[in-house]
Amino acid sequence: IRMSGIRGLQGVVRKTVNDELQANIWDPQHMDKIVPSLLFNLQHGQDADSRSPSPLPEKEQENPRELAERCLRELLGRAAYGNIKNAIKPVLIHLDNHSLWEPKVFARGCFRIIMYSIQPQHSHLVIQQLLGHLDANSRSAAPIRAGIVEVLSEAAGIAASGSVGPTVLEVFNTLLRQLRLSIDYELTGAYDSGAGKSRKIKEHEERMFQEAVIKTIGGNSSGFSRNFPFFPKIFLIPSPRSHLEFPSEFPIFPHFSRENRNRLTQIMLLKSLLQVSVGFQCTNLLTALPGAFLERLLSPALLEDPEIRLFVLEILCSFLDRHGNRQRLCPESAIGDVSVLKLKVEKCSRQDSVFMKKHGQQLLRHLFLVSKEQQNSRDHFQALFRLLVLLGLELANEELLVDLIRLVLAMQDLAQSSEEKLPARSRCALLALGAAFLHLIAQLLTVPPFLQHVREVIQAREKDAPFLLPQEAFGENPRPSGGWDQLGPELFFGQSRISEILGSSGYSLERLSAPYVPQLGDEDRLSKRKSIGETISLQVEVESRNSPEREQRAPAEEITYETLKKAIVDSVAVEEQERERRRLVVEKFQKAPFEEIAAHCGAR
């Protein structure tokens, strides 16, 4: 009977879908009956068929499920732009009414059929329907929301090749909004389920939902990035001020810590960004890490929260690692023969050189400031080591290598300093990190005297201070056998000796001889702040100083004849300078080599 009904629906679809004289089959009143009927047979047809085998010959055997799927595909394939919504809405209602989001298998199968059946240019409409449905279920149980997110993830992955800008924006915006709401639910332990009733949440279910959202963000950003390489990662950078604003419909409970919410939100966003960076393939760091993105990414690295700092270091490592070297790098292996690691090293491109000229000092300064934090763990120092080596491998040029060596020697001085009051484990880890980095770089530089000096220091440490080498320094609780004052100079790398060796090999002696001193900028003041909230207060204070209202209070300049005359003369001079500048630009583009023009445009 059901097979006959499906064949009847198939005939109705074929007869009326393109016939203007017949009833409009796409009206909600018809779709609300046709689509659920097909979904019911999709869900139960195979089971019913297995209970009562058809007596028909094998060539004529067909079960309701297969026929319903074929009919649904035919219906959706004929759907025009204006009819997609009416065709998808009954699917969402059916999945809600029969609680089919939680097992997820049937829901994912349905939307796989839908995404591959509709015309590709209409796929973003399905994504918008799913996003709206996710928002409508914001107060549903976490497993239901997780099911919708996983279906959305698969559908968005199929639609990524034909996606358009607003769709990408909407996907990430909705997912991040849901992530923030979930954090609110987790912190309060309950949410308003409607009609003024509060419903308790299960913490582990909310965590599973958050992981599903993070996985979806990371998984789909790699697909979207083929068409929009900059958007997903920039959009995910935490904006602390936005985190301070609670949803209007969500009350602030007395035990609900605003600071805790900010921290959890930032951690979730950085987790999402880490997922994005893992699947993100970049060839040009100027486009992968533009200035605004890099600045916002480095800002959380100066907070006192160790978990946030570690996420930032891992994200930077992931973006910089373009040849898969990161997994092979660890301080312990760098003390031995690095040829065993089979590291891939390529010559630094012109665009990457421009990137380091613009942002190199900012990166190195942040690495130095991160190394000074007292709450750093073994994971932080290992991430710092990987980041230093990746900078040397991916962006290796003479100037950068010299600066990296100076930075490592500055970390050595930092570990020896009594003013910083670093714990013993951090001192040992910094000195071991420096030994591992210098040994690896010395082998890559192929300057025998430099390698010999590094090995002499390592051998002296193996004999008298093994706690200053990675094998022990990254152990449970390394401590010097005596006191720091009893460590001899032979256990440390000498800046004058290294400067002399590398200077005689053609490297900048003047630069090598100068100790590394970070240039502190405005953002470095944020490192003294203990929380995101305090960071915001500082940013607001700085902005208030530069606000338009402040500027308007400045006294107006008195206008005289001399002032007007000077302005006219100056404007003529400015016009002449502008004409000359334009002439030089045109001449440059006419006569300069293509590589120079490409590098110039890339830098901009």
Burial class, 282, CB count within 10 angstroms (exposed 0-12 / middle 13-18 / buried 19+)? middle
Per-residue pLDDT tens for 162-198? Answer: 555 566 677 888 888 898 888 888 888 877 666 566 7
In a domain, 507, yes or no: yes
278 close to 502: Cβ distance less than 8 angstroms: no
In a domain, 167, yes or no: no
pLDDT value, residue 347 = 82
The residues with which 194 forms a beta bridge, in sequence order, are 197
Q: Which residue, among 414, 434, 246, 202, has the nearest Cα to 335 in the 3D structure?
A: 434
Section 70-86 average pLDDT? 91
369 Cβ neighbours under 8 A, 6+ residues apart? 301, 302, 518, 524, 527
The residues with which 192 forms a beta bridge, in sequence order, are 198
Of 78-92, 166-180, 438-452, minimum mean pLDDT range: 166-180
Q: Which residue, among 128, 131, 125, 116, has the nearest Cα to 176 in the 3D structure?
A: 131
More confident call, 570 vs 201? 201
Query: How much of the chain, in percent, has pLDDT values that exceed 70?
Result: 78
Section 406-425 average pLDDT? 89
At 200, which helix (H) or strand (E)?
strand 197-200
pLDDT value, residue 243 = 37
In a domain, 370, yes or no: yes
Of 52-66, 254-268, 346-360, 365-379, minimum mean pLDDT range: 52-66
In a domain, 372, yes or no: yes
The total of structural domains in the chain comes to: 1
- pTM over the 0.75 mark: no
pLDDT value, residue 574 = 75
Q: Which residue, among 223, 205, 267, has the nearest Cα to 532 in the 3D structure?
A: 267
In a domain, 471, yes or no: yes
Pure H helices in 140-164:
142-159
In a domain, 365, yes or no: yes
Which tokens belong to 546?
């530069």
Section 379-386 average pLDDT? 94
- Is residue 148 left, alpha or beta, with left meaning phi > 0 and alpha meaning psi from -120 to 50? alpha
The residues with which 197 forms a beta bridge, in sequence order, are 194
Per-residue pLDDT tens for 312-327? Answer: 999 999 988 888 888 8
Residue 19 has pLDDT above 50, yes or no: yes
CA separation, residue 144 to residues 185, 506, 596 (Å):
15, 65, 55
32 close to 90: Cβ distance less than 8 angstroms: yes
In a domain, 192, yes or no: no
In a domain, 357, yes or no: yes
CA distance 472 to 415: 16
The boundaries of the domain holding residue 413 are: 321-524
Per-residue pLDDT tens for 508-555? Answer: 888 888 888 887 655 554 444 444 444 433 343 434 334 444 444 444
Residue 435 has pLDDT above 80, yes or no: yes
Per-residue pLDDT tens for 480-506? Answer: 666 677 788 899 999 999 999 999 888
Kindly report the backbone phi and psi dihedral angles of residue 416, in degrees, each rounded to the nearest multiple of 5, phi listed first.
-85, -20
